Copies of this chain bind each other. A is one copy, B any other.
């Protein structure tokens, strides 16, 4: 019976349970015991799939980071004027954040106490740096305003985008990812003011 139950658990299912528990209890506050109870399988069954909770964290934040870095490889992020590429990246960041909500939420909460967390923070900084580079290029082209320092503007735009994890719930009744992405692009590029 144990074998049968374990076999229904793929690494994917285990990962999604782990991400939910990490987001609820915090990574530091999660033990293998918590994961075992939430997944309904024994700790040794979990060790059948992964070396421990840090591997689950690494897989989870990798999924978020792969989604984000994947955006930079998309054609509209590579071709054309920097301002247009930046707009594509901002729109797709919102879409990826919503499509991979629990994974990106976890990534954004990583604090840096373990090697995996430090690596994730490093990768996040690299992504931010790439987007700041695009913004700098767009400012040099004269397409975006020069009176707000690029690093500050990048932080504020990331602040707006990342805050979506605090309230967005995929309950089927609310807004879809495209509607939220469109609103963010409008506000970020044109602001609230009419006309």
Contacts and interface: CB of A to CB of B under 8 A. Distances in A.
A38 interface: no
Contacts of A83: 193
Copies in the complex: 2
B191 A147 contact: no
Specify the main secondary structure of chain A where it touches its partner. Answer: helix
A186 B148 contact: yes
A74 B98 CA distance: 38
Interface string A124-145: 0000000000010010001111
Contact of A193 (B158, B161, B183, B189): B189
Contacts of A190: 145, 190-191, 193
A190 to B, nearest CB: 4
Contacts of A163: 155-156, 158-160, 162-163
B188 A192 contact: yes
A159 B159 contact: yes
Query: Contact size class for A?
Result: 35 or more
A188 B153 CA distance: 11
A188 B191 contact: yes
B183 A149 contact: yes
Interface of A: 83, 135, 138, 142-149, 152-153, 155-164, 166-167, 175, 180, 183-184, 186-194
